């Protein structure tokens, strides 16, 4: 394939109809924010992730990538590849601050954009036709603003659909070739000619939704390239990867992607998961962890003015097998004690004979808090019901009983800081310790044993 810098002529700039969709991807986002906040890290191999033996890399600077370090790699492997690697645990509050600023810059270009996580955005440029906006010029101006105002680098891709816009943004970014950093073009537009070239040259692993396991399966079937998928009947492909993925892959192989840019996509779930430094054993230890997780989820719910009708737990054992359980209520809750009651009941339904390396508590099926209707059913005999039904009753009572106190605590925290007041379980010798959503060490434990 041609080098990225030669993908588009400097003089060509398509119309909005030729390049209606734009994809922006911030470079090494988490690591870049850490370097901005600590300039002494500039030029050093930096990774954000879990530094302990069970941790994984979430983001790596290009200096680290020159040694082969990449996201989703176990930290122990990354340290072997790069002995001088600086691994930082991550600060989601800070990344969210930068992400909000990033979205403000995008919104100045067009309100029709769809965030993907904190560091990626799809934008629809078709509403800008009457303004005579030229896509490549707009993309270059956008990159300039992001760099000038946020100090961050990014790649921008332009195409007629999400598939090509996403592929283009990846092609636009710097890459490491045989240990050397090769600069990218910054902005790439996928013309009709380039579409055909890419569909003929790209490996299947480059396609959206194809992870290592799926790529390995397709390669075993003799389908390592996108061009190979065109030769396979969709039904035959479905027998190996399932009908949904087969339909998607078959469409992608023909250059088709009908997904629209979805503006203001609603959040469907709020959760908190933790991989433990030492695996937990037995109900007592898990309940303590579930209580802390429930408090994190409850604070996130209240911050959005929502209550949740469905509470779920995720348990992963040391052998990497996992179990999920969920319970849907007839009313919504946003109180940590209420969520804990449901989580405990769900844990009681699981065989905990094996040690647990990860626990997650999630909330979904949201209702606006102002619309939540709760009534105590005094004829409900808790002693005659199963564990989940008793938990529902306890959750309803605690949700009502603690509401005034909980709201007062939230008000104090809003005015004087998150650690200004808390519960006894949050008190440490060093002061109040209030966990944030997704945890301080979302990519694994902080310190190895």
Tell which phi-psi region holds residue 333, choosing left (phi > 0), alpha (psi between -120 and 50) or beta.
beta
Distance CA 77, CA 426 (A): 34
User: CA of 361: how far to CAs of 256, 260, 368, 393, in Å?
Assistant: 37, 31, 20, 19
Task: Say which residue the tokens 């409900």 belong to.
Answer: 380
199 SS3 class? helix
- 234 CB burial (10 A radius; 0-12, 13-18, 19+): middle
**CA atoms within a 13 Å half-sphere pointing along the CA-CB vector of 228:** 15
**Cβ-Cβ contacts under 8 Å for 158 (sequence gap 6 or more):** 14, 19, 21, 22, 23, 135, 136, 139, 165, 168, 187, 188, 189, 190
**Cβ-Cβ contacts under 8 Å for 405 (sequence gap 6 or more):** none
- The answer to whether 125 and 15 have CB atoms below 8 angstroms apart is no
Helix or strand (DSSP H, E) at 311:
strand 306-317
Per DSSP, helices labelled H in 265-353 are 282-303, 336-348
Told to judge if 120 belongs to the known catalytic residues of this protein, a careful annotator would answer yes
- 63, 114, 120, 344: the active-site residue: 120
Distance CA 368, CA 158 (A): 37
Got the DSSP string for 159-183? ESSHHHHHHHHHHHS-EEETTEEE-
187 SS3 class? strand
Distance CA 129, CA 123 (A): 14
Task: Say which residue the tokens 């992607």 belong to.
Answer: 257
Q: Which residues are catalytic?
A: 120
């Amino acid at each position: 394939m041609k080098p990225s810098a030669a993908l588009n002529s400097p003089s060509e700039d398509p119309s909005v109809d030729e390049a209606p969709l734009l994809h922006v991807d911030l470079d090494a986002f988490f690591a870049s924010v850490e370097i901005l906040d600590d300039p002494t890290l500039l030029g050093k191999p930096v990774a954000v992730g879990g530094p302990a033996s069970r941790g994984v890399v979430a983001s790596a600077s290009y200096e680290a990538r020159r040694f082969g370090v990449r996201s989703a790699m176990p930290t122990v492997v990354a340290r072997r590849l790069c002995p001088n690697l600086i691994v930082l645990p991550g600060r989601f509050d800070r990344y969210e601050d930068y992400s909000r600023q990033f979205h403000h810059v995008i919104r100045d270009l067009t309100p029709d954009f769809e965030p993907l996580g904190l560091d990626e955005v799809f934008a629809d440029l078709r509403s800008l036709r009457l303004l005579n906006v030229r896509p490549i010029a707009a993309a270059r101006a956008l990159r300039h603003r992001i760099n000038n105002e946020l100090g961050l680098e990014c790649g921008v891709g332009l195409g007629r659909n999400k598939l090509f816009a996403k592929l283009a943004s990846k092609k636009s970014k710097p890459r490491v070739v045989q240990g050397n950093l090769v600069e990218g073009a910054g902005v790439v537009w996928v013309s009709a000619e380039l579409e055909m070239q890419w569909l003929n040259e790209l490996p299947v692993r480059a396609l959206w939704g194809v992870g290592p396991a799926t790529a390995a399966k397709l390669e075993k079937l003799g389908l390592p390239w996108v061009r190979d998928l065109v030769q396979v009947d969709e039904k035959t492909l479905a027998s190996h990867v399932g009908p949904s993925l087969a339909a998607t892959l078959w469409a992608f192989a023909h250059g088709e992607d009908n997904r629209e840019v979805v503006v203001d996509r609603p959040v469907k779930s709020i959760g908190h998961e933790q991989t433990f430094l030492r695996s937990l054993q037995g109900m007592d230890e898990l309940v303590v962890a579930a209580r802390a997780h429930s408090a994190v989820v409850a604070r996130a719910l209240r911050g959005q003015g929502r209550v949740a009708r469905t509470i779920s737990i995720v348990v992963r054992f040391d052998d990497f097998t996992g179990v999920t359980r969920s319970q849907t209520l007839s009313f919504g809750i946003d109180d940590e004690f209420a969520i804990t009651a449901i989580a405990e009941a769900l844990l009681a339904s699981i065989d905990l004979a094996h040690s647990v390396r990860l626990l997650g508590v999630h909330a979904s099926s949201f209702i606006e808090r102002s619309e939540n209707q709760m009534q105590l059913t005094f004829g409900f005999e808790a002693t005659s019901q199963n564990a989940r039904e008793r938990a529902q009753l306890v959750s309803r009572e605690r949700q009502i009983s603690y509401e005034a106190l909980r709201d007062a605590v939230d008000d104090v925290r809003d005015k004087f800081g998150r650690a200004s007041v808390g519960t006894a379980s949050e008190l440490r010798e060093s002061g109040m310790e209030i966990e944030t959503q997704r945890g301080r060490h979302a990519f694994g434990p902080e310190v190895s044993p």
